A = this chain, B = another copy of it.
Amino acid sequence: MAQTVLNSRAPSILVAMATSGGKHPRSDSKTKNSGQHITIREVAKAAGASVSTISAALNNSDYVSAEMRSRIQGAIKQLKYRPNDLARGLRLQKTHTIAVIVPDLSNNFYVDVVRGAKDYSTSANYTVLVGDSREKWDEERDYLDSFHRRRVDGVVRVPAMDALTKKMKPILGNIPWIYADRYPASGDSSVGRVGIDNVVAADNATRYLLSLGHRSIGIISGDISSGTSADRLEGFLQALRAANIRPDRSMILAGHNDIESGHKHAMQLLQRAQRPTAIFCTNNMMALGAFAAIQELGMRCPEEISLLGFDDFYWSTLLRPTLTVVRQPAREVGMIAARMLIDHVEGRSPIETPVLLATQLIVRDSCSPPRQMNA
């Protein structure tokens, strides 16, 4: 058992032999096909039929006699024939493929969006390609470009945070796309968008905090180039106004939807002389950052500070305290996005857009009434 143990750093590249030999070794003289894969042509030969008949049998339409059909099946099985989707897509001018690009696959919310899109697509006989931009426009652009070159039939897009102002038409051309979850404040769109009703979600969440007695609430929201973040902030403010509380601008911080900015801004809020009694984070990563900040400062949650997050994790209940969050129907967002996109692609009449799904406030342990003011 010769086991090579490589240091993870080891860059050792064992190099190149001659690339391609001068001669192309044509081994089989029987069939014209030179290479790797068996083609419909070889199936035809084996079944004693013509190429077009094989194709007809494959797309089981048309007139193919039962006998011929079974002969073809036999040949296919025996040769282990697999259709070439490149050729198919080229000829058909249709790939039966959609792409889904999300900003962060390590965020389970987006994994669920992807899975939703995948499941719907599968049921509609489409396959999906997934991209993971890691919140970087450059990566997103590269993915979109690649999707374009592969001629996907459409894309479900959750833009990276720094990509919200980018124009899509130059990148995607005629390929339709739909926004899921996030969407740009500027209304560049193609098929529409699906997400949640961010305003009412944030409004409800904030009302919950108010109902507990909180009057001084900090919010760590996303960048307002995102319509999503803007809406959540809007909902927050709306709830405050409804309760006749004047929002304190210094309590409103714009993060970047990642752990770091959640942490940074929570630190900032918590170390003020007049600190809030509750913090509302408008996405899950920032909530995690805030959670960490609270732990670091040794503050007791929820006794000293309440924390309200967005999006649920499957491991939310393992944290102490367990996290109270606004749960979004991630999977449904993905499913509906895929559905709308595919409907559009297939020329079916579109449903109204934007589609806004309802959220749910999952009350757990991280929020409680604030301590007495002078405690």
Instruction: Please give the residue numbers on chain A whose beta carbons come within 8 Å of chain B beta carbons, in ascending order.
Output: 2-8, 10-17, 19-20, 35-37, 80, 82-87, 89-90, 93, 95, 105-106, 108, 111-112, 114-115, 118, 122, 127, 129-130, 132, 134, 142, 145-146, 148-151, 170, 173-174, 185, 187, 189, 191-193, 197, 199, 227, 231, 259, 288, 291-292, 295, 314-315, 317-320, 329, 332, 336, 343-344, 346-360
Contacts and interface: CB of A to CB of B under 8 A. Distances in A.
Contact of A6 (B15, B17, B112, B336): B336
B318 A15 contact: no
Contact of A8 (B20, B95, B332): B332
A6 B346 contact: no
Given A106-B314, A114-B132, A145-B82, A355 B173 contact: no
B332 A4 contact: yes
Given A6-B197, A20-B344, 18 more contacts: A2-B357, A3-B358, A4-B336, A5-B351, A8-B197, A8-B357, A14-B349, A14-B351, A15-B187, A15-B192, A16-B349, A19-B347, A82-B145, A85-B149, A130-B130, A288-B315, A292-B318, A320-B320
A2 B332 contact: yes
Given A8-B357, A17-B347, A174-B36, A2 B352 contact: yes
